[in-house]
Chains A and B, each alone.
Chain A
Amino acid sequence: MINLFYNELLKAFYKRRTYISFILISLLIPAIVYAIDYGAVSLETKIYGQMQDSFIFIGSIINGYLSAYLIIAILITHMPFLSTIIPSEIISGEYSKGTFRIYLTRAILRRDVFFAKVFVVFLYTSMMMFYFFLYSLIISYFILGDGELIVFHKGILLLSEDDIIWRFMLGFIFSNFVMITVASLCLFFSSFSKNSVTPIISTISIVFVGSAISFIPIDIFELIDPYLFTGYIDIFLLAFHYPVPNEIFINCFLVCFSWSFLFILMAYFNFTNRDILE
């Protein structure tokens, strides 16, 4: 099993597409941080808004933590797309290129091959998300420095420096659960598909529809939304609420776990019983 896992890692990390998400994050985040730094005054004015009539602000609220918070809050909705890069082709790619014809003729169980692939998908997604969070924080910190974090939740919430990092960690852990669910969905499509584009399109379409359900305030949608993993894509923001809504985080875990389990199970049965004809 370790050999299979090592092979899957090798296959993934020798492919250029594996690095697309890391390169994008590496380029985009410094650009946004510099933009925030450059436009700090106008950003502050927008954030203060009419509050300047009621409060006297001394110093600047623009710092590394706020920058990382804003960057993650904005980009997290786009992370499902990056989460599909590896799972979209990890099965369908081998199927379409015919490499299963040499790989699966060895004395190995398809079950083991499948779980090695699942493990690599989960590892890749987690690494990408970790890099996204950590890099946002580090770059923002080095360019804009530290300070208290001001967020809006039932008014203004001012979080002290020692109350920030664990919230980022909490946000990372649960955002990662959601992205792993997205990756599992993509893996499920990959186990059916004969090319790597179809799983990406199918996954993103479902995320898009699910997000629409979350945003449209209709009774029936509000009823089903807590059971959809797409409703938790921006759960990162809830980590900065006071108090932290624990029940929503528990729901998020249960919902993501259930959907991931279902997607992986269906992909497993399809992969292990599929005739390799091409």
Chain B
Amino acid sequence: MLNFKNISKNYKTIKALKDITFSIPENSIFGILGANGSGKSTFMKIMPGLIYDWSGEIYYEDQLLIKNDMILRHDFGYLIESPTFYEYLSARKNLEILARVSNVNFKRIDYVLDLVELSNRSLDKVSAYSYGMKQRLGIAQALLHDPKILVLDEPNNGLDPNGINDMIRLIKNLKSDGKTICLSTHNLKDVEELCTDFTVFKDGLCSNSVSLSDQFIKSRRWVLSVKNPTLAISQIKQSDSFEYINSFNDNILIESKTNDTINSMNALLQDNEIYKISKESNLIEYF
């Protein structure tokens, strides 16, 4: 649906993005994973035209877009970095300002406010909002003109656990509604819980698009929880079928060398009581 080819951006002597090339499939939740300073935010700002001076090509539905093409704003909704609004105005007034320039009927404001569960606080000034509420209002403004693609820059950043759960639920609902969502994050958990596909940014470079389910199938990492971890670790270390990686809070992270992990593990730890055995993604390796 959306292809990026050789996207590059330089800040004077610093190369922030170096030939970024990847694709975003339709109706996916696409994660751009990367550590702070990896170039995620710079990339996110190129699409809406916040950054003017860049090179490369963007294809949308197989059509090459010109630089800062209006389609990138017509069909896309953005929440770039932290949510910022006119704090001295109410949430509704803020959305009215944005609806006016997007030629959106004001009735749509009620719909998006309802969607992010802010209807009852819509007349309050934004300055009185918590960070989580501002983040939800940020999603509301991005959805105001009913875009096909939603671009969210670190949507879970700064949210408390309840806020994160709300955000995850909201993003999954949007996918169910047929939207394609592209989000950036430095948090592996966000990608594991939310994304269908992802790419990893590192020092201005990126990996190819990876399907999370493919990546999960390929992963050979498992997490064990057992009654006697010390005994289990010594047994795993002596085994040829498993490699011990580390342990945390009585959980043991291992790498399996066999295709029949669960039966082999049951056989190896038959004297120990296994509480839980689950497959773990190996996203950390991409960093």
**Chain A interface (Cβ < 8 Å from any Cβ of B):** 3-4, 6-7, 10-11, 14-16, 97-108, 273-277
A107 to B104 Cα, complex, angstroms: 11
Q: Which 5 A-B pairs have the closest CB atoms?
A: A98-B84, A105-B48, A276-B50, A107-B73, A105-B78
From residue B127, how far is it (CB to closest CB) to chain A in Å?
11
A106 touching B50, Cβ below 8 Å: no
Contact of A7 among B78, B79, B81, B100 (CB under 8 A): B100
Residue B284 is within 8 A (CB to CB) of chain A in the complex: no
A106 touching B84, Cβ below 8 Å: no
B74 touching A107, Cβ below 8 Å: yes
A-facing residues in B217-268 (Cβ within 8 Å): none
A104 touching B70, Cβ below 8 Å: no
Task: Please name the residue on chain B nearest to A100 by beta carbon.
Answer: B50
From residue A148, how far is it (CB to closest CB) to chain B in Å?
48
Task: Please name the residue on chain A nearest to B48 by beta carbon.
Answer: A105
Task: Return chain B residues, CB-CB under 8 Å to A11.
Answer: 86, 89, 97
Query: What 13 new A-B contacts, CB under 8 Å, besides A11-B86, A98-B81, A102-B138?
Result: A14-B93, A16-B88, A97-B87, A101-B81, A102-B83, A102-B84, A105-B49, A105-B50, A106-B145, A107-B73, A274-B52, A275-B50, A276-B51
Task: Please name the residue on chain A nearest to B70 by beta carbon.
Answer: A107
From residue A144, how far is it (CB to closest CB) to chain B in Å?
40
A102 touching B98, Cβ below 8 Å: yes
Q: Mark B20-54, 1 if CB is under 8 A from A, else 0.
A: 00000000000000000000000001001111110
B82 touching A276, Cβ below 8 Å: no
A7 touching B97, Cβ below 8 Å: yes
From residue A194, how far is it (CB to closest CB) to chain B in Å?
14
From residue A273, how far is it (CB to closest CB) to chain B in Å?
6
Task: Return chain A residues, CB-CB under 8 Å to B53.
Answer: 273, 275
Task: Return chain B residues, CB-CB under 8 Å to A101.
Answer: 50, 78, 80-81, 84
From residue B149, how far is it (CB to closest CB) to chain A in Å?
12
A277 touching B51, Cβ below 8 Å: yes
From residue B1, how far is it (CB to closest CB) to chain A in Å?
19
Residue B101 is within 8 A (CB to CB) of chain A in the complex: yes
Number of A-B pairs, beta carbon distance below 8 Å: 81
Task: Return chain A residues, CB-CB under 8 Å to B93.
Answer: 10, 14
**Chain B interface (Cβ < 8 Å from any Cβ of A):** 45, 48-53, 70, 73-74, 78-89, 93, 97-98, 100-103, 138, 141, 145
B100 touching A104, Cβ below 8 Å: no
From residue B264, how far is it (CB to closest CB) to chain A in Å?
52
B88 touching A15, Cβ below 8 Å: yes
A14 touching B48, Cβ below 8 Å: no
A4 touching B101, Cβ below 8 Å: yes
Would you give 5 A-B contacts (Cβ < 8 Å), ordered by A?
A: A7-B100, A98-B82, A101-B84, A275-B45, A275-B53
From residue A93, how far is it (CB to closest CB) to chain B in Å?
10
Query: Could you say which of A4, A106, A274 has the most chain B C-beta atoms within 10 Å of its C-beta?
Result: A106
A105 touching B80, Cβ below 8 Å: yes
Task: Please name the residue on chain B nearest to A276 by beta carbon.
Answer: B50
From residue A89, how far is it (CB to closest CB) to chain B in Å?
12
Contact of B86 among A3, A99, A107 (CB under 8 A): A99
Supposing A7-B101, A99-B85 touch, asked if A273 and B52 sit within 8 A by C-beta, the answer is yes
Task: Return chain A residues, CB-CB under 8 Å to B86.
Answer: 11, 14, 99
B97 touching A108, Cβ below 8 Å: no
A123 to B141 Cα, complex, angstroms: 29
Contact of B141 among A7, A102, A277 (CB under 8 A): A102
A3 to B102 Cα, complex, angstroms: 9
Task: Please name the residue on chain B nearest to A275 by beta carbon.
Answer: B51
B102 touching A107, Cβ below 8 Å: yes
Task: Return chain A residues, CB-CB under 8 Å to B138.
Answer: 102
Task: Please name the residue on chain A nearest to B87 by beta carbon.
Answer: A97
Task: Please name the residue on chain B nearest to A15 by beta carbon.
Answer: B88
Task: Please name the residue on chain A nearest to B153 by beta carbon.
Answer: A101
Task: Return chain A residues, CB-CB under 8 Å to B80.
Answer: 101-102, 105
Task: Return chain B residues, CB-CB under 8 Å to A108.
Answer: 73, 101
Task: Return chain B residues, CB-CB under 8 Å to A3.
Answer: 100-101, 103
A273 to B89 Cα, complex, angstroms: 28
A4 to B98 Cα, complex, angstroms: 10
A16 to B45 Cα, complex, angstroms: 31
From residue A20, how far is it (CB to closest CB) to chain B in Å?
15
A276 touching B45, Cβ below 8 Å: yes
From residue A41, how far is it (CB to closest CB) to chain B in Å?
48
Task: Return chain B residues, CB-CB under 8 Å to A6.
Answer: 100
A37 to B150 Cα, complex, angstroms: 66
A106 to B88 Cα, complex, angstroms: 21
B52 touching A105, Cβ below 8 Å: no
Task: Return chain B residues, CB-CB under 8 Å to A276.
Answer: 45, 50-51
Task: Return chain A residues, CB-CB under 8 Å to B87.
Answer: 97
Task: Return chain B residues, CB-CB under 8 Å to A103.
Answer: 97-98, 101
From residue B189, how far is it (CB to closest CB) to chain A in Å?
25
A274 to B80 Cα, complex, angstroms: 17
A184 to B97 Cα, complex, angstroms: 25
From residue A111, how far is it (CB to closest CB) to chain B in Å?
12
Task: Please name the residue on chain A nearest to B138 by beta carbon.
Answer: A102
Query: Could you say which of B82, B97, B141 has the most chain A C-beta atoms within 10 Å of its C-beta?
Result: B97
A106 to B76 Cα, complex, angstroms: 9
